Structure 1
């Protein structure tokens, strides 16, 4: 099995290995996030892409890598679970922070990254550049994951062949 880029990046792994090896985090592999990706793989993609951007911009790579992994740390199917207090977009960041605090300590920037990663869908504006990055990367990854699944559909393949 070919290793992914993030699996070969020792600096990245040194920052997040405790989370990647945590049993609560690994449970995310049991949930489909955006059609063809598990929630765990989605979180890794968001974390690693955000980490790479932060590294280039000389930002806080540790906070962005760790919070990127934890931004969707919830254990339900978001397509089926409904909340009385608000939408999934509003609720799941708060649930993710609460779950993340059970497996690791979070600094203020990490909390902001997780809580504000749905900025645009929610009104809570991020305080940090790292929070904006995770929000944008999360949106990009969600669209990318959805489009990859769309490209596998027979009708779309037929249309693209024309």
Structure 2
């Protein structure tokens, strides 16, 4: 692990509320990239976003960064399966994830920005916060790493 023990504890505290919800945990049943589940991907993006902010001493709202990243792909369907996928998934899923997030959790403005803007520059909605820029960047890095299986899993499937 790259984070220090107290940072891991903080990370776990930030996602604890989500992990208690069956709908959030159900993301483990949907594949995101390669053999990586949506849950694993989302938690990896949250972890590495937090890690980068700490490593480079970027002053961020760490709680919102972790929470927004964990919820950025909370769309609850397998976009690889034709019957279950929404048309234009890459463009539409941020809004679907946001709608699911506000259905179950209290989301602040930074978390909203992260969830809705994480697909930039594919979507034209530019992130307004440092946290959303970080998550957008880390999301792309994790997606490439997962697709090509070039880093180890953070959680067990």
TM-score by length of 1: 0.82
SS of the residue 2:65 aligns to? helix
Residues in 2 aligned to 1:22 and 1:67: alpha-carbon distance in whole angstroms: 16
Task: List runs of 5+ in structure 1 lacking aligned partners.
Answer: 150-162
1:96 maps to 2:102: no
Higher relative contact order (CA 8 A, sep 6+): 2
- What is the Cα-based RMSD across aligned positions, in Å? 1.6
Q: Paired residue for 1:159?
A: none
Q: Paired residue for 1:48?
A: 47
Residues in 1 aligned to 2:77 and 2:18: alpha-carbon distance in whole angstroms: 19
Q: Paired residue for 2:134?
A: 133
Residues in 2 aligned to 1:26 and 1:119: alpha-carbon distance in whole angstroms: 26
Residues in 2 aligned to 1:53 and 1:107: alpha-carbon distance in whole angstroms: 22
CA contact (8 A) 1:24 1:103 kept: no
Please tell me whether Structure 1 or Structure 2 has the larger radius of gyration of its CA atoms: 1
SS of the residue 1:33 aligns to? strand
SS of the residue 1:138 aligns to? helix
Q: CA deviation at 1:21?
A: 2.1
Q: Paired residue for 1:61?
A: 62
1:147 maps to 2:152: no
Residues in 2 aligned to 1:119 and 1:24: alpha-carbon distance in whole angstroms: 26
Residues in 1 aligned to 2:108 and 2:91: alpha-carbon distance in whole angstroms: 21
Task: List runs of 5+ in structure 2 lacking aligned partners.
Answer: 151-157
Residues in 1 aligned to 2:26 and 2:2: alpha-carbon distance in whole angstroms: 22
Q: Paired residue for 1:158?
A: none
Q: Which moved more, 1:56-65 or 1:38-47?
A: 56-65
Q: Report the number of matched residues.
A: 142
- CA deviations over 1:101-153 (Å, ceiling 9, x no partner): 1111001111010000000111111100110110010000000001118xxxx
Q: Paired residue for 2:21?
A: 22
CA contact (8 A) 1:117 1:131 kept: yes
